[in-house]
Chain A
């Protein structure tokens, strides 16, 4: 069972460079999420998508864009990377059928360093 797969696992960028973080899930889930995790800050929601074709901003969307390419894939793009975007990024998915079905499944994370 692959679950939620994120690529790449590690990335170093120079300030101003752009890149796309990829996420794919094979559980036929409707909802997908992007979080960033920083020491002492917990997991902060960047963007989420309730279904194919819809996206919503979370707590910290500035500097990021997302695309829900299809039901399986949800990508996160940094157009002009900044050192403040150095973080571990997690993608998650959940069935999205209601609050009683709230288990979110997380990928292994992408560790991004912007120098």
Chain B
């Protein structure tokens, strides 16, 4: 049972274009929504994150849009560059089962972004 659904699986964008990746969730217990970026041969690294009481967060060329009522959130990459070519994962956090401080971090299946010159 996939708790965080991510689309598209792959995305090709021209340099300077806008890359858009979408995610949806069902579990209302999720309370934080980070995006991770992964380059080949490396571990994922946090890119940007948003709390559910905020509808939009922008950091440089990266923006998260969050729609709590629709249980959807998306990553927009403006002025996409070849260096942005990577796999992007949306994720969601909810409290785990071991009391205070216990949080599960659940990932979507990832989107492989290729930015072509």
Number of interface residues of B (CB under 8 A): 29
Whether, in the assembled complex, B83 has its beta carbon less than 8 Å from a beta carbon of chain A, the answer is no
Q: B104, A41: Cβ atoms under 8 Å?
A: no
A49 to B98, CA, bound (A): 8
Number of interface residues of A (CB under 8 A): 34
Query: Given A33-B105, A42-B107, A42-B108, A102–B97 Cβ distance below 8 Å?
Result: no
Whether, in the assembled complex, A61 has its beta carbon less than 8 Å from a beta carbon of chain B, the answer is no
Q: A90, B43: Cβ atoms under 8 Å?
A: yes
A-B contact pairs, 30 of them (CB 8 A): A4-B43, A31-B102, A31-B103, A35-B107, A40-B9, A40-B109, A42-B107, A42-B109, A43-B89, A45-B104, A45-B105, A45-B106, A48-B96, A48-B104, A50-B96, A50-B98, A50-B103, A51-B98, A51-B101, A54-B98, A54-B102, A56-B104, A90-B43, A96-B103, A98-B103, A99-B31, A100-B51, A102-B103, A108-B43, A109-B41
